[in-house]
């Protein structure tokens, strides 16, 4: 490990508090991450120093805010290795990005949208709505008992009818890391557009959109130490140029008359209205923070934490771990005779924050015949001691609940 998590931790003011008289152990990072001082300062500095509406202003502040916002876009483009920064569309988050794509595609009866059993509701429901609207059919790649996707079924389901394939890179429920490069290549070879839900990938992995080869990549800032309400849709320029605009309003136009409106070029074509300027700047700052530590180092640290947690929890009586070895970010488990909600509530009293329930993956829970799991999820600031505190808390809670 090339960095000291306790030094990193000191950058996150929220983590210094106690909960129920115990030091807070925050293990709900797949839901949202905490924010380092650099990000908090960037947001504050934006409002204290350069707040103004962007793009059309002639005055000093408008120019300063515009250049900071567009510098953030450039930084995002570099982080994603996008060929063109105009391919970086700022959105409100993953859900917003996926809904954007679902809204601008036109499908017809006979067309198919292919998703997987591991998807979050936000990578299911927009496609169901598109299918309802267009008469297209939704197909689902099943998963094995270990929480990995059935690749044979995936290849069998791909056909010339597949117009859009939407896959999560990392499962927020089980931590499964999908082989998205291979799956993207296969879907593209079948003639399908490909969208990758990178909501859980963005804090843990380097994303090179050119190497990935997909048409769309969606993620949220708040999963990678940035504020809520900001996210990205990266879209391949040739694809987005050929698709219609989505929301109408200011910024997305070139010229408006009552007879006819002409639309702006990328990225503004998909950024109607005043954007989350501060959020974009803070997201770029969050990526600086992550890159300052190094994604490889962060991934290695999180891997250490998740393996330690898996080992500790598996040693307890009646614990079942979901997802494959090699999972990233999140570790889901169930305990015989103990309801996940009771467990979560009890360990919260010991200062340990985890998430319980279906994790917005009800079809996946149904596949495993459960209503939910307990999920611990990890970030750069978590420590081995916190993992041990989790295991001790779970063991105590099980003793009380059984
Ligand atoms: N997809 C995945 C895999 C997620 O983990 C999440 C957030 N839990 C989302 C999509 C939705 O992200 P958001 O709520 O930020 O739009």
Give 65-120 pLDDT, tens digit per residue: 999 999 999 999 999 999 999 999 999 999 999 999 999 999 999 999 999 999 99
Q: How far is Cα of residue 80 from the mean position of the Cα atoms in its chain? A: 14
Q: Report all structural domains of the chain as residue ranges with CATH numbers, in order of start.
A: 5-30+294-401 (3.90.1150.10), 40-291 (3.40.640.10)
- Average pLDDT in the 214-236 region? 98
Q: What is the largest CA-CA distance in the chain?
A: 72
pLDDT tens for each residue of 244-292: 999 999 999 999 999 999 999 999 999 999 999 999 999 999 999 999 9
Quick one: which of 135, 87, 142 has its CA closest to 107?
Answer: 135
Assess whether pLDDT exceeds 60 at residue 293. Answer: yes
Quick one: which of 219, 217, 215 has its CA closest to 94?
Answer: 219
Tokens of 208: 């090179």
Q: What is the pLDDT of residue 237?
A: 98
CA of 122 to the centre of ligand 1 (A): 7
Considering only CA atoms, which residue is closest to atom 14 of ligand 1?
A: 95
* Residues with a known catalytic role: 360
- Average pLDDT in the 31-57 region? 96
Counting atoms of ligand 1 from 1, which one is nearest the CA of 170? 3
Residues 6+ apart with CB under 8 A from 2: 294, 297
Q: What is the pLDDT of residue 6?
A: 87
Top mutation candidate among 220, 329, 358, 361 for ligand 1, by most atoms within 8 Å of CB: 220
CA of 198 to the centre of ligand 1 (A): 9
| Residues above pLDDT 90, as percent of the chain | 97
Q: What is the pLDDT of residue 2?
A: 72
- Angstrom CA distances, 246 to 102, 135, 277, stand at 10, 20, 20
Backbone angles phi, psi at 20, to 5 degrees: 55, 40
- Average pLDDT in the 306-316 region? 98
Strands 112-116 and 137-141: parallel
- Number of residues written out for the chain: 402
- Angstrom CA distances, 174 to 33, 59, 323, 334, 364, stand at 18, 50, 5, 12, 10
Task: Work out the mean pLDDT of the chain and round it to a whole number.
Answer: 97
Q: What is the pLDDT of residue 57?
A: 80
Top mutation candidate among 101, 360, 361 for ligand 1, by most atoms within 8 Å of CB: 360
Block residue for tokens 């803070």: 282
Q: What is the pLDDT of residue 351?
A: 95
Assess whether pLDDT exceeds 90 at residue 214. Answer: yes
- Average pLDDT in the 42-57 region? 95
CA of 123 to the centre of ligand 1 (A): 8
- Average pLDDT in the 135-139 region? 98
Q: What is the pLDDT of residue 122?
A: 98
Counting atoms of ligand 1 from 1, which one is nearest the CA of 197? 1
CA of 23 to the centre of ligand 1 (A): 28
Pocket of ligand 1 (CB under 6 A): 30, 93-95, 120, 122-123, 168, 172, 197, 199-200, 220, 360
Q: What is the pLDDT of residue 213?
A: 98
| Residues above pLDDT 70, as percent of the chain | 100
Top mutation candidate among 30, 119, 123, 199 for ligand 1, by most atoms within 8 Å of CB: 199
Cα–Cα dist 234/196, whole Å: 10
CA of 49 to the centre of ligand 1 (A): 32
- Angstrom CA distances, 148 to 139, 153, 204, 234, 376, stand at 17, 12, 18, 26, 19
Q: What is the pLDDT of residue 1?
A: 52
Q: Look at the pTM and tell me if it is higher than 0.95.
A: yes
**Cα angle, residue 291 at apex, residues 85 and 232 outer, rounded to 5°:** 35
Give the DSSP H/E element, type plus range, for residue 30: none
CA of 256 to the centre of ligand 1 (A): 35
Tokens of 84: 């063109």
Give the DSSP H/E element, type plus range, for residue 206: none
- Average pLDDT in the 168-174 region? 98
Q: What is the pLDDT of residue 363?
A: 97
The SS3 of residue 25 is: strand
């Amino acid at each position: 490990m090339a960095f000291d998590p306790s030094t990193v931790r000191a950058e996150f003011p929220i983590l210094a508090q106690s909960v129920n008289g115990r030091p807070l152990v925050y293990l709900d990072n797949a839901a949202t991450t905490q924010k380092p001082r650099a990000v908090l300062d960037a947001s504050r500095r934006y409002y204290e120093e350069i707040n103004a509406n962007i793009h059309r202003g002639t005055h000093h502040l408008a120019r300063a805010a515009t250049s900071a916002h567009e510098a953030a876009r450039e930084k995002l483009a570099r982080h994603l290795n996008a060929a063109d920064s105009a391919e970086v569309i700022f959105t409100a988050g993953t859900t917003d990005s996926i809904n954007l794509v679902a809204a601008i595609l036109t499908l017809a009866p006979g067309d198919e949208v292919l998703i997987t059993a591991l998807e979050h509701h936000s990578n299911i429901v927009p496609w169901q709505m598109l299918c309802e609207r267009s008469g297209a059919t939704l197909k689902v790649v099943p998963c094995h008992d270990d929480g990995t996707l059935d690749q044979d079924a995936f290849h069998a389901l791909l056909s010339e009818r597949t117009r859009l394939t939407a896959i999560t890179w990392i499962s927020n429920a089980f931590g499964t890391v999908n082989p998205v490069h291979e799956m993207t290549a296969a879907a593209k070879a079948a003639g399908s557009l490909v969208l990758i839900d990178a909501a859980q990938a963005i804090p843990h992995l380097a994303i090179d959109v050119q190497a990935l080869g997909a048409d769309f990549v969606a993620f949220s800032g708040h999963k990678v130490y940035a504020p809520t309400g900001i996210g990205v849709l990266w879209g391949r320029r040739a694809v987005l140029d050929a698709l219609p605009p989505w929301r109408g309003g200011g910024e997305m136009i070139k010229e408006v008359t009552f007879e006819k409106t002409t639309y702006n070029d990328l990225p503004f074509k998909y950024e109607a209205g005043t954007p989350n300027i501060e959020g974009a700047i803070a997201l770029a700052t969050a990526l600086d923070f992550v890159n300052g530590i190094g994604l490889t180092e962060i991934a290695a640290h999180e891997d250490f934490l998740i393996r330690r947690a898996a080992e500790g929890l598996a040693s307890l009586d009646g614990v079942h771990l979901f997802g494959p070895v090699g999972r990233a970010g999140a570790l889901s488990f169930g305990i015989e005779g103990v309801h996940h909600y009771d467990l979560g509530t009890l360990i919260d009293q010991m200062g340990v924050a985890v998430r319980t329930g279906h994790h917005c993956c009800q079809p996946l829970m149904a596949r495993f015949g459960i209503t939910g799991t307990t999920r611990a999820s990890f970030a750069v600031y978590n420590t081995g001691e916190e993992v041990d505190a989790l295991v001790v808390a779970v063991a105590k809670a099980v003793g009380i609940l059984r």
